[in-house]
């Protein structure tokens, strides 16, 4: 008899294991949405049905033990508590703030869900993200005249007339298609238009700068940032944000080859070989049990614990919490900026740059040594979960030397350019528009950056031949020859 | 008692679930093949045993509901109906047409299975494929004198003698090893030879241009194309053809970086993060249920439906059915050619090119606006399964602007070259053989193409730094300086 | 009744299936280690617990059928027989030989576990590895003056002073961060230091050249090599070593793009599409059953059998056992060196190079034709498990032609340089330091190598546009123009 009972229990468990254990009560508003959208945009609805948002209500989430929660709000508005988080719950929040709000099926709906909307349940994450360079990625590029000149000479277009190449103003579509794809566009409501739909005529907002999901997007409610950059709608999946592919969307190019370096590092190798057996969904994330090598998220964002529940690293959405340095050299690597909005920085030469043209740090705007140490020790604590002290110290020593080494290389490349500018071989009104200047830009933007990322994550070839020191040293020699060719041609 | 029955049923189901539900009756001919080849080429036989071909006979396949069928023939020859599709079924088809037919173990066998063989069960796919640029990839390259000059100056070899670099004729093996690996070789029977085998002496055909599985292969039965390019033998797997790795074999290089762009796009990110849970085998392919982001096949080939069975996109093996533009610019992007054989095209200058050297379209040979619209709307219907109208329209508007923007860039690079050719700084007998010309080629073949693919699939960095607009604009400046260095040297 | 028994048995099997079937008795020494390290370095302990080392004792391993064994020792010291292979078993071996041995928790422990330690159970693998170029990767680079000059001009640094770029001596940290990351550092004990730990003050060795896991690492016990390069600690996983990601750590850069080529080859495509269903753990490894396409390990290292147990290829850790050629051209491709230590080679010009500067082989130090044939036939036997004879022969014929073709290209590039050196346009005291010389280096180090790897594994684009023949031919033209620019400038 007991065997039968046992078997029955086993079967019930087996058969129900794949079903989720939460209720799935939708609000009536969301039911309305889904009534039509199930057939109009079936992909969205199906993806949402697979998400945790469709399976648990905020009131259930609040009952979880604090360390296991994915929401950080202590109190959630009464009207949002009981139902799962459906279409209407997000797309009708704060309607008065959203310039893209429109009447739709009896509801006041907006298209662009923003960090301010997400903050209703996830306030801490939004607060932290707001202190993140990424949240200011749009103005940090568009409002910094030096970086904006780099942008416009990188994107063009140029026309050839009268034997000369002349740069034209970069059209907004080109910016959106390139830099602002990652940095985020400014999404503006240009008006409203009526469109024919399967359900008759309907009015919709006309958006400029759309579509976009860049990290520093300026939204129609005035907020900056986009949670969907990493937590891709409509799955909002922690799994996806923890896998390195999310970061690869913006961090794979020659300027910031973090993903490429990671993938050929020992950590990337372990990830690619074994991650099929890892648990990317558990909160908190347990080292050794859930994963055996870090992904980007492990080191830069996640709440990491050991099997006894001791916290190794706190969850943070201010991704520089564990970063003493900014190794993405523009034009030198330097202590991380103190504030996320970097347009406030002025170096001694009066330029909005974190260093002088000679490499000296604009220290007033950058982390001091004490804060750098604090952030580095947070990072090291993660390393130490799997590595001995001498391993970790040896690694960071070498890495810091690489930072100074590559800054020196940038300085020596710059010295050649200072000669060229002084002698009029290149024109210094614009530092980035001529061939010789672009060769110089690549020494720091591509090669020095590559070497630093490689050193930070031990991806040897990116420090050697793959856009590493080989190209850095070749580039210096080419720069010198180019300078001489141009000089002899005068 | 009922519990016991239930348990028994459960166990039976569990234990048999992994076995396939079809019969596995091989023809006696195939049994003969396998008798020896199980030990001679065990890998082939094992792979075939895992394929659907080994598990279902055409007569069973014909009983399926039409939308679920993988075969398109309405009638299949009686002698092929009852057995599974084994070695003999394909390798002995149409023996008289195959110049590579030889006597082997009592059968008239041929080595190279071709689209004409596959057409016995899959006629619609073969017909469609035949209207596809790919099926003519061999003559489109080898019989177009402009492209063939590009080929021979790309592949070399060159020798250095008397202070000069001189191009030599490209040996056939080099072509096979490079361009024709993807474009397809011409496979010819050079004769027959006797070889010692484990089973005594046997005669086999001697093939030229072999091995090869390029998309436009010219086969010994006179047909063009190769189904195995994507449906890799001997698994013939729809799963593999639907995954992006298949396309990466030929679409990853700097000239056509589709795969690289896809992989860092949002779609690629979702694919890499979540495809472990997708169903790549179901026919038809249901958006949301079977997959939550498109792969190459979704947008360009697959039969896609929603959960209610409504067809979102028809299956097609004419892969331009949803493509208004040909963005692979040779030398400009342009409306898609009407016919697969592009050697018939003549522009106003009399060259076999789809545009003038100035970018004007050779419209007579290209899709008209109406057909372009039709194809674009087919594509958009897929997008709309997961995206709103404003998202989709915004995306395509931007993309079309990028096409014109990159064509303008190519035009301006070409203007520099027109000067160089006129002044004799470069020789215009061959447009592709000198350093300065190769710098020009890269502006369109690598950088403009990269920017377009990036715009088409939203893979930002390939439109910016990773062989994108950065390199495009640098290349223009380098081109200009190079032109001046060479002029001053005269 | 019998049904019940059957069900019970089924349940017991189901419930225990995931548990391993071996005993897990740790030595008391290992228990001591884990007592503290479970909380000090939880990641290491958790990973080890997932490894086979934690689940089986050598005495159990010895009971396996020989072909299924992962150990090659016939006899293992009594004291190591009964317990699983834990921390203490490896980290306390041969204490007197290890200069990094220190007193720790009552044991004589060393940090760096070396091939000599692993050889206690895996002697054959260590012996074979020792005949492998990789095991000598450190001296092969550091003790060969030609290669070392290439190293130091690749890594820099250079400073710009008095209008000149001057190379400085490469600091040891830079070497460790770049070339020696893969080649292996020399790990030396600099002394011992006391550190504060969670368990009070403790003494630890201070290591130079640490951390490192390069293939030719010189260890504190005098041995060379590092098993953990591929069998990443503390999982020591055969699965990981068999997957291509392990090889990618060092074989992905432009100098040796094996991984990139593999990934876009047909084999890589099959791997990426289907490897989720393969068995990477079974020993021996059965073609067709366990895998349907080769990975790097299949062709270069693994013990491969067919389903009847016939051996197709023997396991080897001398990875050139199936390699007639060394296609990594420095500066030409050539028959594989006979001995792993290549510094013993002297060409006719007296240089430690396997060929003359004109490409002629230094045959005395290289494999003879008979041995080349033997190795090639070992490789072909693997190919023949899935391909017909004509396929395989056609492939290798083409490949050999490519070797000679790319050697010819290198020769023609070198002829331009010989002129430049003779005329003093470039200085021949150092062959690698100037821009024009670096352009020459790229013709063989990047482009000819890329073409050869592409030909060897059929990854078409790396033989065409992706650092293939396009770049090779462009580079020759650029080299010629550069030479002329420099000459006209004199």
Quick one: three-class SS letters along B174-234?
A: HHHHCHHHHHCCECEEEEEEEEEECCEEEEEEEEECCCCCCCCCECCCCCECCHHHCCCCC
Quick one: three-class SS letters along A350-379?
A: CCCCCECCCCCECHHHECCHHHHHHHHHHH
**Mean pLDDT throughout B98-115?**
97
Closest CA to A214 of A141, A280, A148: A141
B21-57 burial, b at 16+ Cβ within 10 Å, e below that, comes to: eeeeebbebbebbbeebbebbbbbbbbbbbbbbbbbb
pLDDT at residue B3 in the model: 55
Q: Of all residues in chain C, what percent are helix, strand and coil, respectively (each to 5)?
A: 50, 10, 40
- The C-alpha atoms of residue A358 and residue A156 are separated, in whole angstroms, by 28
A357-378 burial, b at 16+ Cβ within 10 Å, e below that, comes to: bebebbeebbbeeeebeebbeb
Cβ atoms of C441 and C432 closer than 8 Å: yes
Cβ atoms of B364 and B163 closer than 8 Å: no
Q: Does C394 touch chain B if contact means CB atoms closer than 8 Å?
A: yes
Q: Does C177 touch chain B if contact means CB atoms closer than 8 Å?
A: no
Query: Measured between CA atoms, how close is A194 to chain C, in angstroms?
Result: 45
Q: What is the Cα A97 distance to its own chain's centre? A: 25
Q: Does B468 touch chain A if contact means CB atoms closer than 8 Å?
A: yes
Q: Per-residue DSSP letters for B31-72?
A: HHHHHHHHHHSHHHHHHHHHSGGGT--HHHHHTS-GGG-S--
With 0-12 / 13-18 / 19 or more C-beta atoms within 10 angstroms meaning exposed / middle / buried, residue C201 is exposed
pLDDT in tens, C371-414: 999 999 999 999 999 999 999 999 999 999 999 999 999 999 99
A245·B269 Cβ contact <8 A: yes
Whether the upstream peptide bond of residue A231 has omega within 30° of 0, thus cis, is no
- The C-alpha atoms of residue A250 and residue A181 are separated, in whole angstroms, by 9
Whether the upstream peptide bond of residue A273 has omega within 30° of 0, thus cis, is no
The residue whose two tokens read 């006309």 is: A206
pLDDT in tens, A327-346: 999 999 999 999 999 999 99
Q: Which of A393-407, B19-33, B56-70, C359-373 is the least confident region?
A: B19-33
Query: Measured between CA atoms, how close is A331 to chain C, in angstroms?
Result: 18
Structure tokens at B100: 């590579």
Cβ atoms of B43 and C289 closer than 8 Å: no
- Residue of B264, B287, B418 to mutate, interface with A, max A Cβ within 10 Å: B264
C63-81 burial, b at 16+ Cβ within 10 Å, e below that, comes to: eeeeeeebbbbeebeeebe
- Residue of C13, C275, C380, C386 to mutate, interface with B, max B Cβ within 10 Å: C386
Please count the residues of chain B: 490
pLDDT at residue C19 in the model: 42
> Which chain C residue is nearest to residue A304, measuring alpha carbons?
C43
- The C-alpha atoms of residue B410 and residue B450 are separated, in whole angstroms, by 13
CA distances (Å), A55 to each of A46, A58, B42, B277, in order? Answer: 13, 10, 48, 18
Q: Which residues contact A354 (CB under 8 A, 6 or more apart)?
A: A326, A330, A332, A334, A337, A342, A345, A347, A361, A362, A365, A366
Q: Which residues of B touch A112 (CB under 8 A)?
A: none
Residue B198 — φ and ψ, nearest 5°?
-60, -20
Q: Of all residues in chain A, what percent are helix, strand and coil, respectively (each to 5)?
A: 50, 10, 40
The residue whose two tokens read 């730094």 is: B465
pLDDT in tens, B235-258: 999 999 999 999 999 999 999 999
Structure tokens at C208: 């130079």
Q: Per-residue DSSP letters for C194-238?
A: EEEETTEEEEEEEEES-S---TTPBPTTS-B--GGGTS-TTT--H
B438·C474 Cβ contact <8 A: yes
List, as ranges, residues 270-299 from A with C-beta within 8 Å of C. Answer: 270, 272-274, 276, 287-289, 292
pLDDT at residue C13 in the model: 46
Closest CA to C469 of B279, A400, B255: B255
Closest CA to A226 of A317, A121, A358: A317
> Which chain C residue is nearest to residue A447, measuring alpha carbons?
C155
- Residue of C43, C51, C149, C440 to mutate, interface with A, max A Cβ within 10 Å: C43
Q: What is the pLDDT along chain A (490 residues), one digit of tens a residue?
A: 455 555 555 554 444 444 444 456 999 999 999 999 999 999 999 999 999 999 999 999 999 999 999 999 999 999 999 999 999 999 999 999 999 999 999 999 999 999 999 999 999 999 999 999 999 999 999 999 999 999 999 999 999 999 999 999 999 999 999 999 999 999 999 999 999 998 999 999 999 999 999 999 999 999 999 999 999 999 999 999 999 999 999 999 999 999 999 999 999 999 999 999 999 999 999 999 999 999 999 999 999 999 999 999 999 999 999 999 999 999 999 999 999 999 999 999 999 999 999 999 999 999 999 999 999 999 999 999 999 999 999 999 999 999 999 999 999 999 999 999 999 999 999 999 999 999 999 999 999 999 999 999 998 899 999 999 999 999 999 999 999 999 997 7
Strand ranges inside C331-371, DSSP E: 334-335
Structure tokens at A98: 């959203």
Arithmetic mean of pLDDT over chain B? 94
**Mean pLDDT throughout B216-243?**
96
- The C-alpha atoms of residue C297 and residue C243 are separated, in whole angstroms, by 7
Query: Measured between CA atoms, how close is A466 to chain C, in angstroms?
Result: 5
- The C-alpha atoms of residue C363 and residue B74 are separated, in whole angstroms, by 64
Q: How many CB pairs under 8 A join A and B?
A: 195
Structure tokens at C160: 């710009």
Structure tokens at B51: 């394929």
Query: Measured between CA atoms, how close is C89 to chain A, in angstroms?
Result: 18
Cβ atoms of B463 and A252 closer than 8 Å: no
**What is the DSSP code (8-state) at residue C361?**
B
Structure tokens at A157: 């277009």
Q: Does B485 touch chain C if contact means CB atoms closer than 8 Å?
A: yes
- The C-alpha atoms of residue C322 and residue C310 are separated, in whole angstroms, by 18
The partner residue sitting opposite A178, judged by closest CB among B273, B468, B474, is B468
Q: What is the mean pLDDT of each run of 10 residues along chain C (490 residues)?
A: 54 44 79 95 96 96 97 96 96 97 96 98 98 97 97 98 96 97 98 93 97 98 97 94 97 96 97 97 97 98 96 98 96 97 97 97 98 98 97 97 98 98 97 98 98 94 96 98 91
Taking the C-alpha atoms of C2, C6, C12 and C14 in order, what is their torsion angle to the nearest 10 degrees? -160
- The C-alpha atoms of residue B266 and residue C73 are separated, in whole angstroms, by 51
Q: Does A446 touch chain B if contact means CB atoms closer than 8 Å?
A: yes
Closest CA to C406 of C324, C334, C320, C480: C334
Residue A63 — φ and ψ, nearest 5°?
-80, -15
Cβ atoms of B387 and A40 closer than 8 Å: no
Number of H helices, E strands in chain C: 22, 11
State the sign of the Cα–Cα–Cα–Cα dihedral B446, B452, B457, B458.
positive
SS3 B143: coil
The residue whose two tokens read 């430690």 is: C352
Question: What domains does chain B contain, in order, with CATH numbers?
Answer: 24-70+79-91 (no CATH), 112-229 (no CATH), 238-489 (1.20.850.10)
Task: Work out the number of other CB atoms within 10 angstroms of the CB of residue A8.
Answer: 13
Q: Per-residue DSSP letters for B308-371?
A: T--EEE---SSTTTT-SEE-S-SSS-EEPBSSS-GGG---TTS-S-SB-TTS-B-GGGB--HHH
What is the ipTM score, two decimals? 0.94
> Which chain C residue is nearest to residue A286, measuring alpha carbons?
C43
C385·B41 Cβ contact <8 A: yes
Q: Which residues contact C56 (CB under 8 A, 6 or more apart)?
A: C22, C84, C85
């Amino acid at each position: 008899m007991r065997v039968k009972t046992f078997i029955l229990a086993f079967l019930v468990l087996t058969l129900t294991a794949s079903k989720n254990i939460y209720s799935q009560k939708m609000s009536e508003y969301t039911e309305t949405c889904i009534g039509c959208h199930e057939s109009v945009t079936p992909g969205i609805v199906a993806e949402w049905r697979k998400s945790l948002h469709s399976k648990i209500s905020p009131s259930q989430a609040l009952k979880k033990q604090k360390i296991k929660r994915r929401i950080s709000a202590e109190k959630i508005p009464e009207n949002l508590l009981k139902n799962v988080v459906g279409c209407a719950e997000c797309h009708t929040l704060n309607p008065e703030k959203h310039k893209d709000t429109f009447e739709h099926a009896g509801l006041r709906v907006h298209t662009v869900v923003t960090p301010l909307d997400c903050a209703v349940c996830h306030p801490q994450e939004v607060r932290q993200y707001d202190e993140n360079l990424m949240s200011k990625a749009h103005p940090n590029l568009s409002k910094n005249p030096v970086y904006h000149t780099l942008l416009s000479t990188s994107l063009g277009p140029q026309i050839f007339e009268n034997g000369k190449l002349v740069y034209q103003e970069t059209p907004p579509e080109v910016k959106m298609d390139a830099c602002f794809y990652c940095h985020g566009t400014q999404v503006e409501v240009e008006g409203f238009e009526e469109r024919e739909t399967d359900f008759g005529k309907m009015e919709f907002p006309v958006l400029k700068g759309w579509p976009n999901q860049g990290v520093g997007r300026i939204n129609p409610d005035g907020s900056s940032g986009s949670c969907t950059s990493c937590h891709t709608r409509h799955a909002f999946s922690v799994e996806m944000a923890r896998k390195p592919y999310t970061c690869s969307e913006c961090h794979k190019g020659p300027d910031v080859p973090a993903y490429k370096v990671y993938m050929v590092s020992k950590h990337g190798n372990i990830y690619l070989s074994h991650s099929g057996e890892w648990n990317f969904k558990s909160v908190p994330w347990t080292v050794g049990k859930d994963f055996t090598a870090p992904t980007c998220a492990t080191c830069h964002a996640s709440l990491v614990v050991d099997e006894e529940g001791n916290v190794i690293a706190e969850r943070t959405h201010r991704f520089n919490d564990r970063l003493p340095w900014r190794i993405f050299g523009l034009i030198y690597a330097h202590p991380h900026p103190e504030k996320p909005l970097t347009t406030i920085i002025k170096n001694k030469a009066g330029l909005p740059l974190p260093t002088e043209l000679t490499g000296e740090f604009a220290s007033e705007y950058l982390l001091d040594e004490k804060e750098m140490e604090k952030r580095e020790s947070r990072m090291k604590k993660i390393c130490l979960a799997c590595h001995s002290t001498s391993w970790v110290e040896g690694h960071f020593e070498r890495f810091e030397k690489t930072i100074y080494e590559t800054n020196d290389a940038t300085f020596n490349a710059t010295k050649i350019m200072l000669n060229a500018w002084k002698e009029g071989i290149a024109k210094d009104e614009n530092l980035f528009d001529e061939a010789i200047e672009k060769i110089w830009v690549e020494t720091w933007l591509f090669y020095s950056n590559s070497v630093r990322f490689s050193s930070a994550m031990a991806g040897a070839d990116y420090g050697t031949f793959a856009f590493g020191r080989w190209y850095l040293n070749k580039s210096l020699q080419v720069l010198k020859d180019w300078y001489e060719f141009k000089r002899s041609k005068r």
